[in-house]
Amino acid sequence: MWRRSFSTGTAALKDKKYDALVIGGGHNGLTTAAYLARGGLSVAVLERRHVIGGAAVTEELIPGFKFSRCSYLQSLLRPAVIKELELARHGLKLLKRSPSSFTPCLDGRYLLLGPDRELNHAEISKFSKRDAEAYPRYEHQLENFCKFMDPLLDSQTPEARRGATSFTERFKDKLQKSVFWAHCLRRAQSLGQKDMVDFMDLLLSPASKVLNNWFETDVLKATLATDAVIGTTASVHTPGSGYVLLHHVMGETDGDRGIWSYVEGGMGSVSLAIGNAAKEAGANIITGAEVSQVLVEEDGRVEGVLLNDGTRVQSSVVLSNATPYRTFVELVPDSVLPDDFLRAIKHADYSSGTTKINLAVDRLPQFESCKLNHPDAGPQHRGTIHIGSERMEEIHSACQDAVNGVPSRRPIIEMTIPSVLDKTISPPGKHVVNLFIQYTPYDPSDGSWKDPAYRESFAQRCFSLIDEYAPGFSSSVIGYDMLTPPDLEREIGLTGGNIFHGAMGLDSLFLMRPVKGWSDYRTPVRGLYLCGSGAHPGGGVMGAPGRNAAHVVLQDIKQSLK
């Protein structure tokens, strides 16, 4: 269905000049295309794979089981994108989870958390009355911080404009920057000095310090700390990991802040809905169209792309949804890029500690610590199940294994079972299970991910760990698909296997993303823009880089016509 809906073949691209080309049909590339097409431009999206979506994709790898192969939960997709592109009308259906988190303990206890405040208080009180009282204040503070961040996510950065020659252009640029910083100052004043200091503390501190200052319960701190390290190679003790924690709670579902949801039909339904919006607006989306080179004229301006099959596609505007490394090191000729820019791109952090395993199982896992009286799925099955995360030191130890070059001996696993709420993705009575696993080095020192026996050994290590909490889980596995960091790079195009297109440390955010001096989606090649997660405001299924980049392109085109 996906291929038939979107592929028209590269033959349709010959001898045609588009107003804009988008390299990569991930959710950001599709978002960019939708906004550009709605702005009146003729747009073509060129997707290397047979299916659109990039990392937000649904694939039926085992008959009857549809996997969200990479990304697996929705919350970060910007409300503006959902509303402006009318994604509900285009088929997006979100399935809220409550409870949203379950952490089983080997000592027979467990912790459930979610949007129900009474449930949270009762659950945390099993471990600490003090923490139960503090938790609503913690959530309220993070919500205030997220409100402070919202306008920054939905706008381009106040990057110093290059190439403005006239006095009028320079004056207008300075005025826009002044307005931006004035708005930031007003928001900071409304936040108050105490909260602003706490905000800076969260940004700069290790997640462990932040959580230790709030709580005393190990299992609560560890459960919350997973949000600070997910998708990274960092430990809970790494300075700046507090920002990643904030990044993963700044989303919402249908207006409810911090609530993550499943998507009916899997995460590919997000990309499909955005793709439908783009198609309706007139965009042409072509699968099986791999770009091998960005074509640049002698005067340094982009003139289109060259496909792997030799097809040349013309356009004076090209947007790349590929990673910064893939874009500038592999697609753009070295000779047209400044040395310092290219050096910064090459030496950015693309490391990853993430492996994703998608499983088909014949029954739900039954957790020893939580034998609630439910005939089928219980509250413990609905949300994210944290395996091996009872103490922050367990997370740190798992990270240290990877630092030493080997996959974690006791991996940190986030398990989700979307088929509990989404009945469209598995046969009756059977289920889809997602395992998001850390930490796995890209190039382990004790073996190779190319070795089938080594891969199988690690998969069984993960299944055996789950068996400790849910005996018999391993025997329920019908089949599985595993994506290690090199697999994520090869299959999905994620450099180093990094799910964010590059690390989300404070040295690579906002005005520093992807590199300092080039944070406004423009690049040293005139007419070439970044629109993927490697640009501001970063990774996750947000759509913000795609939306913001499209606005910059439309603004530049409007300016050039004056």
Across the range 267-291, mean pLDDT stands at 97
411: preceding bond cis by omega (within 30 degrees): no
Name the nearest CA neighbour of 244 among 157, 345, 348, 142.
142
Say if CB 418 and CB 68 are below 8 A apart.
yes
Residue found under tokens 């959902």: 82
Residues 279 and 432: their CA atoms lie apart, in Å, by: 30
Pick from 244, 261, 278: which residue ends a domain?
261
Q: What is the pLDDT of residue 412?
A: 97
- Could you tell me if 194 and 218 lie in one domain? yes
Residues 252 and 284 in one domain: no
Distance CA 54, CA 48 (A): 9
Q: Are 230 and 326 in the same domain? A: no
Residues 256 and 153 in one domain: yes
The DSSP code for 95 is: E
Confidence band of 4 (pLDDT split at 50, 70, 90)? very low
Query: How many helices (H) does the chain have, and how many strands (E)?
Result: 17, 22
pLDDT value for 452? 98
Q: pLDDT band at 258, cuts 50/70/90? A: confident
Residue 216 CB coordination number (10 Å):
12
CATH number at residue 524: 3.50.50.60
267: phi then psi, degrees, rounded to nearest 5 = -65, -20
Residue 413: per-residue pLDDT:
98
**138 belongs to a structural domain:** yes
Is 373 contained in some domain? no
Residue 120, pLDDT score: 96
Residue 321, token pair as written in the block: 């949804």
pLDDT, residue 7, reads 57
Q: What is the mean pLDDT of residues 475-483?
A: 98
Pick the closest to residue 78 from 446, 433, 543 (CA basis).
Answer: 543
Provide the pLDDT confidence category of residue 8 given band limits of 50, 70 and 90.
Answer: low
Task: Give yes or no for residue 475 having a pLDDT over 90.
Answer: yes
Q: What is the DSSP letter of 286?
A: E
Task: Tell whether 251 is covered by a domain.
Answer: yes
Q: Which amino acid is at 204?
A: L
Provide φ and ψ at 468, rounded to 5°.
-65, -30
For range 185-205, the mean pLDDT: 91
Co-location of 207 and 240 in the same domain:
yes
88 close to 60: Cβ distance less than 8 angstroms: no
The answer to the question of residue 27 being in a domain is: yes
Strands (E), 20-116: 20-23, 43-46, 58-62, 65-68, 94-96, 101-104, 110-113
Tell me which residue of 78, 81, 156 sits closest to 510, measured CA to CA. Answer: 156
Both 20 and 46 in one domain: the answer is yes
Beta-strand relationship, 261-263 and 94-96: antiparallel
Report how far residue 220's alpha carbon sits from residue 214's, in angstroms, rounded to the nearest whole number: 10
pTM of this prediction exceeds 0.85: yes
307 vs 14, higher pLDDT: 307
Q: Note whether residue 422 is domain-resident.
A: no
Are residues 166 and 232 located together in one domain of the fold? Answer: yes
Instruction: Give how far the C-alpha of residue 94 lies from the chain's centroid of Cα atoms, to the nearest Å.
Output: 17
- Residue 119 covered by a domain: no
The Cα-based distances of 427 to 7, 137, 159, 393 in angstroms read: 28, 42, 51, 39
DSSP codes, 158-190 = -PPPSS--SHHHHHHHHHHHHHHHHHHHHHHHH
Question: Is residue 248 domain-shared with residue 175, that is, in the same domain?
Answer: yes
DSSP 530: E
Cα–Cα distance list, 124 to 100, 182, 202, 416 (Å): 14, 41, 23, 22
Q: 315 and 235 in one domain?
A: no
Number of domains in the chain: 2
Give CA–CA dist 129/331, Å, rounded.
57
Domain that holds residue 257: 132-261
Rounded-to-integer distance, Cα 228 and Cα 245, Å: 4
Contact between 438 and 354 under an 8 Å Cβ cutoff? The reply is yes
* pLDDT tens, residue by residue, 313-330: 999 999 999 999 999 999
Tokens representing 317 are 């505007």
DSSP one-letter code for 230: T
Mean pLDDT of the chain: 93
Q: How many CB atoms lie within 10 A of CB 477?
A: 17
pLDDT reading at 207 higher than 70: yes
Evaluate whether 508 touches 242 at the Cβ level (below 8 Å): no
Q: Give me the mean pLDDT over the 242-264 stretch.
A: 84
- Tell whether 120 is covered by a domain: no
User: Residue 246: pLDDT above 70?
Assistant: yes
Helix or strand holding residue 431 (H, E): strand 431-438
3-class SS at 526?
strand
Residue 133 clears pLDDT 60, i.e. is over it: yes
Q: Does residue 182 share a domain with residue 205?
A: yes
**Over the stretch 356-408, which tens digit does the pLDDT of each residue have?**
999 999 999 999 988 766 668 899 999 999 999 899 999 999 999 999 999 99
Amino acid at 206: P
- Dihedral sign, Cα of residue 247, residue 248, residue 249, residue 252: positive
> What was the pLDDT predicted at 9?
67
Q: 271 and 319 in one domain? A: yes
Q: Which two tokens stand for residue 247?
A: 């990044």
In a domain, 344, yes or no: yes
Domain boundary among 261, 281, 301: 261
139 and 250 assigned to the same domain:
yes
Q: Is the pLDDT of residue 562 over 80?
A: no
CA atoms within 13 A on the CB side of 440: 31
Among residues 210, 238, 261, the one where a domain terminates is: 261
At residue 467, does pLDDT exceed 90?
Answer: yes
Reduced to 3 states, what is the DSSP secondary structure of residue 26? strand
Those residues with Cβ within 8 angstroms of residue 440's Cβ, 6 or more apart along the chain or in another chain: 353, 354, 355, 402, 407, 408, 411, 458, 484, 485
Residue 515 Cα to chain centre, angstroms: 19
What is the model's pLDDT at position 426? Answer: 97
